[in-house]
Structure 1
Amino acid sequence: MTREYDASPDAKRRIDPFMVAVLKSRFEAIVREMSLVVMRASRSAVIKNARDFSCAILTFEHELVTVEDALPIHVMSMDMATRPLTDHFDDIEDGDIFINNCPYTGGTHHADLIMAMPVFIEGTPRFWAVALSHHADTGAPAPSTYLPFAKNIFEEGMHFPCVRLVRKGEVRDDILRIGTMRNRVPDLWLGDVHAQLGACRTGARRIEELCTRYSEQTVLDFIADWFDYGARRAAAAISALPKGTYSYSIKHDPVPGVADDGIPVNVAVHVDPEAGEIIVDARDNIDCVEGGLNLSANTATGSCRIGVFNNLDASIPHNEGAKSRVKVRLRKGCVVGEPSYPVGTSVATTNVNDRLMIAGNAVFSEMGAPYGQAESGSHLPAGVGVISGADPFKGGKTYVNQVFVGYAAGGANHGHDGWLTYCGAANAGLIQLDSVEVDESMYPILIEERGVLQDSQGAGEFEGAPAMYGLFRPIGHDMTIAYAADGTTFPPRGVLGGGDGKASLTRRIDADGSTEDLPAFAEEIIPDGSKLYFTACAGAGYGPPSRRDPQRVADTVNRGWLSQARATQDYGVAFEDGAEPGVLQVDETATDAMRKSASEKARP
């Protein structure tokens, strides 16, 4: 049963506002502690280094209480992954822990193992402590967790469609045997699973302690007030937006054999300021494709919400009350919607899902400045590919891991340039770049270069972030890499007069110096002696470049992200030597003359 949340200014207060602030912080601290357990106890680099995991607390009725440093795509529809547990099990007991990674039972995609533990207070289930981790391998036919060519779930890795892993505190070894038998790196998988177990148990213990200290009723009253507050804040923010229905279209790159012409993504947003509600409609999209690019109902729902919250005040709590002010409309059997069994959803958290979130960010720009965001870069360039092979320094032992050597950049919004370490809309900058030294110590690779590609960003009054590039190679063996570099054909576009960002690129450099541009979606073998070069997508610009503050242009030039030539060409800014050697400053007289001339030429 879903409760009603009171968004009115005179909503009933159950506990003192000071206590609301205290308990809010205590719940956030519990989630932070759970996250630390996952990060420190996990074994795979994709979790412990890149932080591709999230923890959260939900009520036992599946309402989102709190998240802290969580990836948006993991948590904005996490209730969809826990609701089936109470549908499938009528004998949930204290000490039980469940796992779910199946999109057809509410999961995101098969690589995200969602672990949920009921929290009992005085014999009554009150909360769920949830830990989600993206695992390095799931036993798919190919050594990757992203399979754009997998037509159905039978071509993906193992699915646990709401399975009880722990019964009354006792781990079921038979379930773990299934997982380890179907995994290329079983020790890694098992270690990561135990890290999640530890996080769930830590969360449950801390919630029990909280209810003992402040009383169960006080905590439950806090939850009710907290959800009302979230609804009230979200409704107030929506009431300040221009009323109307706005639409935006974007397109995922062509994927040979899956979507030869690309996948269009359309989204419409209906803003009702009087009701303090937004409806996001993603039903006007094509049917499911024969590949792994279809979204799950979880990711499609969450991504529609994320686009809205990215355009509201960041201080609004992302709890169930706030979520209730955003309604989502999806269609069954749709590539952006609820998939029809058994179509593939292996890439449901990135790619087409990124495009949906990017459209959700950008659609608000149809309201005009200062609303909306320019398009950001997309996921899965080769810099975040899944690498695998036989490690020559460990007796040929198999390794599989997703690296984060370099990833996509963020688009600009009003008042802010794009975020360099953005990665993708699903992550909102929370996925961390790998340490070069740590990657090289864990895997038989050498990362020769990683940097910022000058002049790649979309120009604008507010500038997109430039692209990252990198060059790495295997040592003493042939390395396989799987990637899905969206943004190679259709790079990020600017809004309200902003310029486009640079496209992604993947290239192999052989020992003799010859080069070959590689497909955007592929599983490639990089032979010993060859190197892999990539550029990720740059972010797009927001607003006309002619309005950019010349000093901000000079700052970007002095940082090395923008050349003098491009600064003059795109922004009409001239430079002269500054007081400090090697630092340029704006030549205000020449800049004013150039911009005045350009403005006169632009007049009809």
Structure 2
Amino acid sequence: MTQSTGPTTQSTGPTTQTGPAVSTSIDRITLEVIRNGLLTAADEMKNVVLRTAYSNLWKEAGDLSCALLRPTGEVVAQGSADIPIHLPTMPFSFAGLTERFPVETMLPGDVFIHNDPFRGNNHLPDFFMCKPVFFGETLLGFAAVRGHFIDVGGNGPGSYSSTAPDIQAEGFRIPPMRVWKEGERNEELVGLLESNLRNPRERIGDLQAQYAGCNTGERRLQALAEKYGADTLSIAIERVLDDAETLARAHIAEIPDGRYEFEDFCDGDGIVNEPFAIRCAVEVDGSDIAIDFDGTSPQTHGGMNMALSVCYAACVYAIKALTDPDSPANSGAYRPITVTAPEGTVVNVSYPGAVVAGNHETSARVADCVTGALAEALPDRVVAAGAGSTGVLVFGGHDADRDFICVEMHGAGQGGGAGADGGNAHRVNIANTGNTPTEALELEYPMTVIEYRITDDAGGAGEFRGGCGIQRRVRFDAPGWITIVAERGTVAPYGLFGGGRPEPTQVVLTRADGTVEELPTKTAPLLVVAGDELFLKCAGGGGYGDPVDRTVEALQADVDNGYVSPDSAATTYGAVVLEDAGRADGKWVVSR
């Protein structure tokens, strides 16, 4: 068994300050100004990366996250619209980095990078970059950017097939390395990246954007030290983390003590398309929470496994969302939470297991399990399961003398909760990226979007309806390779307290010759030709509460907006639905 509370290193880096003992007190106004300055700095880092990035996945969808770390690696401030699965793993990635490069060996101008899941990283596409920030000879902390590289080599464009049998087959694995040394770029490493990643110009453009984000964080942290002093800034950082812990413990203490259990399932790994189980027990004891995954399925052949760091991130996300979703997140808020997972399972992979899809597909199920376990204890706070899938479509190849790789995420449905329907057509749970606008897709890639809309009757029925997912039909206008990584095609998201399950995910490939093939939710790279069409319908969210308790007004709005069909309103919700020719819009009228 392996347990984690989120690692920190013991070294605080090279400081040579001398003099009288530093006071640990700070006035509340100064603390709040510095706290918000740190948060603003993280947001500014993100904006700089977005403005300078090359790939659509970054500049349009925003698949990256920025943070400021204390000298021991804990996250102090993160971007307000960043990605939950990216951020709690940063201390793990930092610990993997400092095992190879101790903090005391780092110098101003150094920048480090790695993508190794067996050294605390998420999956190979997520490159972790961090830069030590010095003020004089004092190490203030680190500016860090994690970004999803569209390609890291491997057996298909986009590096996204969950059918890769081990980590080596998934792509180019980079141990912690200096990518800038005292301000000079490591051209040998950059050349190695260029030779192993598809479309290297775009990849190195994103690498430079990451670097710009780290430099922005460095400048802002140094500016705070210049204004308030390095000692005061250090005290404020400690208080930010301690205050977050105090607040988290106060909210956790409101949960009734006890042991709560739940299980859910994933479709399969793309090699063996049979469901496998995620089982968790959540034990609440005062202001502490221990989450155990004993009984979870062994690690899979394909890439549906995850590193323990990712399992930890999914767990702390779920607890934060249920207990205190409004205050800014940082590592202090996660100190009361411990996670235990058997090695060699899908939630704590052993080398050389593949992990590319587990980062967001299996981890989403982990968050669903923690939420489901606490439904009994927190019925007014939990929501039914969302779609729990990124719904990845990769399309890559060579056209008109250029390489192209499109990695597109698809919006799905959130689960309904007490007093509110689930959200429609957006990423839910551990992810927070947007989709790429149709105009940008068609401008950048040889593809045409034929249909893109919210699916009716896609949300689970309930007093509070599950959100509807989207469906998209695209035509490929040039030969290339496609890969699908999605979930919830076999086991649909669960409802709560009488709420229903939504429609599952569906993937259909229609060849130019008229041949129709229903695909599993995970595929190896498939060759397509001009004229082939792909239909992808994402799952909705589960319902909350008995459907017969849904109000007439809410159901009327559902029918008017196209979220629920008249037939479903009658058969699933037990309503009387009549066509009213007297209405100016000719729509249906719902009654009970």
TM-score w.r.t. the length of structure 2 is: 0.92
Deviation at 1:293, TM superposition (A): 1.3
Aligned to 2:501: 500
Q: Is the 8 A contact 2:357 2:485 kept in 1?
A: no
Correspondent of 1:348 among 346, 354, 358: 358
Deviation at 1:368, TM superposition (A): 5.9
Aligned to 2:20: none
Aligned to 2:28: 17
Aligned to 1:548: 550
Q: Secondary structure of 1:389's match?
A: strand
Task: Say yes or no: does 1:302 pair with 2:313.
Answer: yes
More deviation in 327-336 or 49-58? Answer: 327-336
Aligned to 2:279: 266
Structure-2 change in CA distance of 1:340 and 1:512 (3 Å): closer
More deviation in 354-363 or 162-171? Answer: 354-363
Correspondent of 2:377 among 367, 384, 409: 367
Correspondent of 1:65 among 69, 76, 94: 76
Structure-2 change in CA distance of 1:150 and 1:373 (3 Å): same
Structure-2 change in CA distance of 1:308 and 1:30 (3 Å): same
Aligned to 2:426: 422
Q: Is the 8 A contact 2:569 2:577 kept in 1?
A: no
Q: Secondary structure of 1:93's match?
A: coil
Aligned to 1:481: 482
Aligned to 1:55: 66
Deviation at 1:19, TM superposition (A): 2.2
Correspondent of 1:401 among 406, 410, 414: 406
The residue correspondences of 1:110-259 to structure 2 (distance < 5 A) are: 110-255=124-269, 257=271, 259=272
Aligned to 1:600: none
Q: Secondary structure of 1:72's match?
A: coil
- Partner letter of residue 80 of structure 1? F
- Partner letter of residue 87 of structure 1? E
Aligned to 2:492: 491
Aligned to 2:574: 572
Query: In structure 2, what is the Cα distance between the partners aligned to 1:39 and 1:52?
Result: 9
Aligned to 1:315: 326
Query: In structure 2, what is the Cα distance between the partners aligned to 1:459 and 1:260?
Result: 28
Structure-2 change in CA distance of 1:151 and 1:509 (3 Å): closer
Q: Is the 8 A contact 2:129 2:144 kept in 1?
A: yes
Task: Say yes or no: does 1:108 pair with 2:122.
Answer: yes
Deviation at 1:227, TM superposition (A): 1.5
Correspondent of 2:91 among 56, 79, 82: 79
Deviation at 1:355, TM superposition (A): 1.2
- Partner letter of residue 306 of structure 2? L
Q: Secondary structure of 2:396's match?
A: strand
Deviation at 1:348, TM superposition (A): 2.9
Q: Is the 8 A contact 1:365 1:496 kept in 2?
A: no
Query: In structure 2, what is the Cα distance between the partners aligned to 1:413 and 1:471?
Result: 30
Q: Is the 8 A contact 1:103 1:297 kept in 2?
A: no
Q: Is the 8 A contact 1:508 1:526 kept in 2?
A: no
Deviation at 1:147, TM superposition (A): 2.6
Residues 75-122 of structure 1, C-alpha deviations (whole Å, 9 max, x = no match): 022100012222212311111000011001110000000100011122
Q: Is the 8 A contact 1:409 1:465 kept in 2?
A: yes
Q: Secondary structure of 1:542's match?
A: coil
Q: Is the 8 A contact 2:39 2:78 kept in 1?
A: yes
Task: Say yes or no: does 1:329 pair with 2:331.
Answer: no
Aligned to 1:602: none
Q: Is the 8 A contact 1:575 1:586 kept in 2?
A: yes
Query: In structure 2, what is the Cα distance between the partners aligned to 1:300 and 1:155?
Result: 22
Query: In structure 1, what is the Cα distance between the partners aligned to 2:588 and 2:234?
Result: 59
Structure 1 unmatched runs, 5+: 4-11, 592-604
Structure-2 change in CA distance of 1:412 and 1:176 (3 Å): same
- Partner letter of residue 152 of structure 1? D
User: Identical aligned pairs, as a percentage?
Assistant: 27
Deviation at 1:256, TM superposition (A): 5.2
Task: Say yes or no: does 1:441 pair with 2:443.
Answer: yes
- Partner letter of residue 240 of structure 1? E
Q: Secondary structure of 2:356's match?
A: coil
Q: Secondary structure of 1:365's match?
A: coil
Query: In structure 2, what is the Cα distance between the partners aligned to 1:264 and 1:183?
Result: 34
Structure-2 change in CA distance of 1:569 and 1:529 (3 Å): same
Query: In structure 1, what is the Cα distance between the partners aligned to 2:58 and 2:461?
Result: 34
Correspondent of 1:412 among 404, 411, 416: 416
Task: Say yes or no: does 1:388 pair with 2:396.
Answer: yes
Query: In structure 1, what is the Cα distance between the partners aligned to 2:581 and 2:87?
Result: 48
Structure-2 change in CA distance of 1:320 and 1:14 (3 Å): farther
Structure-2 change in CA distance of 1:159 and 1:544 (3 Å): same
Query: In structure 2, what is the Cα distance between the partners aligned to 1:225 and 1:108?
Result: 28
Q: Is the 8 A contact 2:360 2:389 kept in 1?
A: yes
- Partner letter of residue 402 of structure 1? V
Q: Secondary structure of 1:180's match?
A: helix
Deviation at 1:583, TM superposition (A): 7.3
Correspondent of 2:389 among 360, 379, 391: 379
Query: In structure 1, what is the Cα distance between the partners aligned to 2:290 and 2:581?
Result: 52
- Partner letter of residue 393 of structure 2? G
Q: Secondary structure of 1:208's match?
A: helix
Task: Say yes or no: does 1:472 pair with 2:474.
Answer: yes
Deviation at 1:565, TM superposition (A): 2.1
Structure-2 change in CA distance of 1:278 and 1:445 (3 Å): same
Q: Is the 8 A contact 1:35 1:199 kept in 2?
A: yes
- Partner letter of residue 411 of structure 2? Y
Q: Is the 8 A contact 2:426 2:469 kept in 1?
A: no
Query: In structure 2, what is the Cα distance between the partners aligned to 1:322 and 1:578?
Result: 57
Query: In structure 1, what is the Cα distance between the partners aligned to 2:235 and 2:138?
Result: 16
- Partner letter of residue 324 of structure 1? R
Q: Secondary structure of 1:350's match?
A: helix
Q: Is the 8 A contact 1:554 1:584 kept in 2?
A: no
Query: In structure 2, what is the Cα distance between the partners aligned to 1:65 and 1:549?
Result: 44
Aligned to 2:464: 462
Structure 2 unmatched runs, 5+: 1-7, 11-22
Deviation at 1:261, TM superposition (A): 2.7
Task: Say yes or no: does 1:280 pair with 2:308.
Answer: no
Aligned to 1:597: none
Structure-2 change in CA distance of 1:510 and 1:348 (3 Å): closer
More deviation in 506-515 or 31-40? Answer: 506-515
Query: In structure 1, what is the Cα distance between the partners aligned to 2:542 and 2:165?
Result: 32
Q: Is the 8 A contact 1:558 1:583 kept in 2?
A: no
Q: Is the 8 A contact 2:68 2:78 kept in 1?
A: yes
Structure-2 change in CA distance of 1:489 and 1:243 (3 Å): same
TM-score w.r.t. the length of structure 1 is: 0.90
Aligned-residue CA RMSD in angstroms? 2.0
Structure-2 change in CA distance of 1:578 and 1:130 (3 Å): farther
Q: Is the 8 A contact 2:460 2:543 kept in 1?
A: yes
Q: Is the 8 A contact 2:566 2:588 kept in 1?
A: no
Aligned to 1:582: 585
Deviation at 1:336, TM superposition (A): 0.8
Residues 310-350 of structure 1, C-alpha deviations (whole Å, 9 max, x = no match): 2112123311221101111122222112x222221222312
Structure-2 change in CA distance of 1:570 and 1:153 (3 Å): same
Deviation at 1:572, TM superposition (A): 2.8
Query: In structure 2, what is the Cα distance between the partners aligned to 1:271 and 1:133?
Result: 34
Deviation at 1:580, TM superposition (A): 6.4
